[in-house]
Amino acid sequence: MLETKDPKGMTAEKKLESALLFTKAQLKNEKDTLANLSNISAIINMYMDDINWVGFYLMKEGTLILGPFQGKPACNRIAVGEGVCGTAVQERKTQRVDDVLSLDNHIACDSASRSELVVPIYKEGVIFGVLDIDSPSLARFSDLEQTYMEKLVNLLENSL
Ligand code: SME
């Protein structure tokens, strides 16, 4: 089993570095995608402060379907183009939303969510799914979180 370090006392950047490091170790030790997505959602939850949901939606038969996550129960399916997750798939790029209430098409799974970061995941150039992170704070996600989560998704893509 993966040995993680207590994030207490670490700076935000150190926590993100640790999340990356433990993701690398997870992907090195295990080839099963479901096990990897499950532990990666737990790793991010452990090393990122002030978030209320983190997990994956996976592309199946043309729609995003809920995958491994940490947080409250969430919507099962999201169509391409719908919500922040569906927009990330449609536009093929990371979505960072400072205030989800300012969007017409945000899907509120947890009414506490105020800002959101969604990174699309590709397998050999084809959309595989998205990594979705929600925070109860406005503008919680900065360039720092976006850069580290894009790096983490890149590691994951190389394992698919
Ligand atoms: N808010 C997302 C839906 C998923 S939940 O946040 C877990 C969206 O607008 O796509």
Quick check: is 45 in a domain?
yes
Testing ligand 1's pocket by substitution, the residue of 82, 100, 107 carrying the most ligand atoms inside 8 A of its CB is 107
Testing ligand 1's pocket by substitution, the residue of 45, 78, 105 carrying the most ligand atoms inside 8 A of its CB is 78
The verdict on the CB of residue 53 being under 6 Å from ligand 1 is yes
Comparison of pLDDT for 32 and 7, the residue scoring more: 32
pLDDT, tens digit (0-9, with 9 covering 90-100), for 21-64: 999 999 999 999 999 999 999 999 999 999 999 999 999 999 99
Distance between Cα 133 and ligand 1 center (Å):
8
**By percentage, how much of the chain surpasses pLDDT 90?**
88
Distance between CA atoms of residues 96 and 28, nearest Å: 29
- Residue 41 has, within 13 A of its CA and on its CB side, a CA count of 22
pLDDT, tens digit (0-9, with 9 covering 90-100), for 123-135: 999 999 999 999 9
Distance between Cα 72 and ligand 1 center (Å):
12
Q: How many domains are contained in the chain?
A: 1
Domain extent at residue 55: 12-159
| CA 32 to each of CA 26, 35, 128, 143: distance values in angstroms, whole numbers, following the listed order | 10, 5, 15, 30
Would you tell me how many other CB atoms lie within 10 Å of the CB of residue 66? 17
Quick check: is 122 in a domain?
yes
Distance between Cα 105 and ligand 1 center (Å):
10
Quick check: is 2 in a domain?
no
Return the CATH number at 41: 3.30.450.40
Quick check: is 71 in a domain?
yes
Band of pLDDT at residue 9, cut at 50, 70 and 90? confident
Quick check: is 147 in a domain?
yes
Quick check: is 4 in a domain?
no
Distance between CA atoms of residues 79 and 94, nearest Å: 17
